[in-house]
Amino acid sequence: MRTQVGIIGAGPAGLLLAHLLHRAGIESVILEARSRAYVEDRIRAGLLEQGTVDILTETGVGDRLHREGLPHEGIELRFDGQGHRIDLTGLTGKRVTIYGQQEVVKDLIAARLAHGGPLLFEVEDAAVHDIDTDYPSITFRHDGQAQTLHCDVIAGCDGFHGVCRDAMPESVLRVYERVYPFAWLGILASAPPASHELIYARHERGFALATMRSTTLARHYIQCRPEEDIADWSDDRIWAELHARMAGRDGHSPVKEGPILQKGITPMRSFVAEPMRHGRLFLAGDAAHIVPPTGAKGMNLAIADIIVLARALEAFYRGQGTALLDAYSATALRRVWKAQRFSWWMTSMLHRFDGGDPFEHKVQVAELDYVCGSAAGSLTLAENYVGLPMQMG
């Protein structure tokens, strides 16, 4: 097999890259280890920045997003039993949209298959070779047969546990990581959302978040210990904890109960691998970085990587040289680290750390009070939350 760009991973990053390359007349092949059903059904983040919505709309895969997505013009920060609204649109002129990552994946897969682009699911034993040369390749097994994909460039969009990052020489790769002493217990419930906008709650018992997937599906999270067993959390215990953390000073909680359809515990970490490029191998999305979900940056950061990479590849194939490809890692990492800073800040401001230090609690409340009471503080949160401008070089 021969193509111009070999893409490993059919998540939002890999699929969007293939879509943008197709529109530019550049050939690509996508290799995915999982089945199509698994990729389309796995539940992931569901908040899109304004820039993500714009790129999906401009490239023709935003119709269902605009029909079914839930635009939000603000968020609520709740602490000391009181809610404070941050007017995202009033402060920035932009908004965010609730639309599940799996829905973005479905839209991009449909677009890929509609124009006949190669997309191979259930690929086994993928490995990259000769990334230090102008003739890299990917070996893999598909339908029981060993195959080799020869290409000009390899895009590693295969996630945190994929093979691409490990293919980079240890001598050039530097990893930055922080593992947090808490996790999120998340539920999907057949119930109306607690509010028409997201509620981020800082409580002495720990953080809580009330969000949604639709007008009839609520998505809620509560801070817990990473080592906890989900079996120890009955439905009644989960609802009781959500009500306690979301309650106002009058004791009322906006959370509405319903049958819990899914629940699980997700550890929290910050992770960055530098550089995001070695030779003809380019990393994007979770293969290169992980952010704690507090700032809602994960998928949006992957999309931002892809916009930079796709434009660099388009310039390369138009005979404009390798300058943008050479700058890819530095360009992407500037945004990555800004997103890491914001996600770390939101996480540090809203979560209860080990020991429940009263001094720390007072400082966090003071920080939240400043953010909500200061025009400058509110604007800082808002412009990061809706998405910083794209950097192209």
Q: Active-site positions?
A: 72, 200, 293, 297, 385
Structure tokens at 13: 């990053």
Spatial distance between the Cα atoms of 257 and 191, rounded to a whole number of angstroms: 6
Strands across the sheet with 145-150, in order?
A: 124-129, 137-142, 145-150
Residue 282 and residue 155 in contact, taking contact as beta carbons nearer than 8 Å: yes
Q: Would you call 175 exposed, middle or buried from its count of C-beta atoms within 10 A (0-12, 13-18, 19+)?
A: exposed
Residue 190 and residue 259 in contact, taking contact as beta carbons nearer than 8 Å: yes
Residue 13 and residue 302 in contact, taking contact as beta carbons nearer than 8 Å: yes
CA distances from 283 to 33, 175, 271, 295, 317 (A): 17, 13, 14, 22, 19
Residue 298 and residue 290 in contact, taking contact as beta carbons nearer than 8 Å: yes
CA distances from 322 to 147, 313, 325, 331 (A): 29, 8, 5, 14
Length of the chain: 393
Nearest C-alpha neighbor of 168 from the set 289, 282, 312, 270: 282
User: Phi and psi (nearest 5°) for 79?
Assistant: -155, 155
Residue 199 and residue 83 in contact, taking contact as beta carbons nearer than 8 Å: yes
Determine the longest span between alpha carbons in the chain, in angstroms: 67
DSSP secondary structure, 221-266, as one string: EEEE-TT--GGG--HHHHHHHHHHHH--TTS--------EEEEEEE
| Residue 20, helix vs strand vs coil | helix
